[in-house]
Amino acid sequence: MKEYPVEKNQQIIVVITDLTHEGLGVAKIDGYPIFIENALIGEEVKALVVKVGNKFGYGKVLELLTESPDRQPLANLDLLRTGIAPLGHLKYEKQLLFKQQQIEKDLARIAKLPEVPVLPTIGMANPVGYRNKAQVPVRKIDGQLEIGFYRKNSHDVVPIEDFVIQDPKIDEALQTIKAILCRFNVKPYNETDNSGFLRNIIIRRGHYSHEMMVTLVTRLEKFFKGKELAEQIAKELPEVVSVIQNVNEKVTNVILGDKEILLYGKHYIEDQLLDNKFAISSRSFYQVNTLQTEFLYQTAFDFAGLTKEDVVVDAYSGIGTIGLSLAKRVGHVYGVEVIAEAVADAKMNALLNDIDNADYKLGSAEKMMAKWVADGIKPSVVFVDPPRKGLTNSLIDSIAESDPSRVIYISCNPATLARDLKLFADLGYQAEKIQPVDLFPQTYHIESVTLLTKRA
């Protein structure tokens, strides 16, 4: 049996020498790394070893022996334990530096491109209360319906009222809805035996419009007094313009099911982004930090140096937030998206903003790009804003074959960004600069904009 320099339940005194990309403190005993929550670089801590693995272990702080000057007070340790605010104990200016350095590390380690400049992270003046969307599980705890968030690496729900990073109006609405659910005797979901009724509550609130949508995710379709309950929610929360029931009958970790029923109001809310109106449905992807998204997109447009002669491809067009925000600056926008509802939303949003130089197609970006090139459409700029897994090799090849002079890569994962920049470099596209924009204060999530230009 393999021996380690520590064992589970052992108490140790260590000095933190680094942070992981998830913000955990790193200490080493005889070269063996131990990752410790709520510990910062330079701090000496007494810790309990809670897990020992082949390559590393985990610990938790029992006592802080010396405190880092970079530490800030955290009102509720549950914000760390649940992963809601895993960097909440680190001063904000240091969070911004941490994110810049994470991109630099991945560029050097993965892409072998240490020379690409990474600019200082653009932060928020007030880095709390920014999320325009909440997604919370509903469970029975100590005999009563509770809402909160999962403890990290578990399915245990920790009851929470103040989520800190969410719009305070959403936090207030969650408590009002919780009280209404209790009055209507709605049974919370029981994950253990797949019983009960209400699985999750999702709330969206327009940053500028203040319109609110409530989605109730249920295990069964039949919703006793569902419309009455929805009307009561709208009565007590005047900002609510939409209440939707989403039915998810499967035993799964996936939150949303396929069927939706409108219980009250309309199917969408409206909000603004860079002076355009957007209709946002329950399934729409819409960035959760509206103010910083405007900085993010404006940075992307500035990097692209857009003119009226440009033909733009938006390869992950969603509901059209990027393409429609830049449409009036360019000759034409071609958007492609794999989700049919999002394409329908993008077309509706184009009409909503009197934009007639944007076309949206349903399909994969790889196939659609090849078709556009075959049809003689030659983009000068391609925008990509992929999910965390980054771009496929085939899409990178398709982009290079379409021969744009600039590629704007909006990334939410420095590791896959670095991997993809290496592939672009092999195809003749040089990363000129990267601008991190902090869309997710108090967390380790990192958003950035990269400008790539075609080498002569």
User: How is 242-294 classified by DSSP, letter by letter?
Assistant: EEEEEE--SSSS----SEEEEEEE-SEEEEEETTEEEEEETT----S-HHHHH
pLDDT at 82: 93
pLDDT at 456: 83
- Please, which residues bridge with residue 68 across strands? none
pLDDT at 1: 56
Domain with CATH 2.40.50.140 in the chain: 11-71
Give the count of beta carbons closer than 10 Å to the beta carbon of residue 338: 13
pLDDT at 153: 84
C-alpha span between 358 and 346 (Å, rounded): 9
C-alpha span between 152 and 345 (Å, rounded): 34
Position 111, amino acid: A
pLDDT tens-place string over residues 22-54 = 999 999 999 999 999 999 999 999 999 999 999
Domain with CATH 2.40.50.1070 in the chain: 133-273
C-alpha span between 254 and 135 (Å, rounded): 12
Query: Can you name the CATH fold of 100-124+289-454?
Result: Rossmann fold (3.40.50)
Position 85, amino acid: A
C-alpha span between 106 and 42 (Å, rounded): 23
Q: Confirm if 8 and 52 have CB atoms less than 8 A apart.
A: yes
Which helix (H) or strand (E) element contains residue 15? Answer: strand 11-15
C-alpha span between 85 and 163 (Å, rounded): 9
DSSP E strands in 38-163: the ranges are: 44-52, 57-64, 133-141, 144-150, 157-159
pLDDT at 388: 95
The torsion angles phi and psi of 71, rounded to 5 degrees, stand at: -80, 140
Domain with CATH 3.40.50.150 in the chain: 100-124+289-454
Catalytic residue among 14, 79, 412, 417: 412
Q: Confirm if 19 and 70 have CB atoms less than 8 A apart.
A: no
Q: Confirm if 117 and 128 have CB atoms less than 8 A apart.
A: no
To the question of domain 133-273 being in CATH 3.40.50.920, the answer is: no
Q: How many Å from the N-terminal Cα to the C-terminal Cα in the chain? A: 58
C-alpha span between 112 and 126 (Å, rounded): 35
C-alpha span between 357 and 197 (Å, rounded): 46
Domain 11-71 top-level CATH class:
mainly beta
Is 182 one of the annotated active-site residues of the chain?
no
Parts of the chain with a pLDDT under 50: none
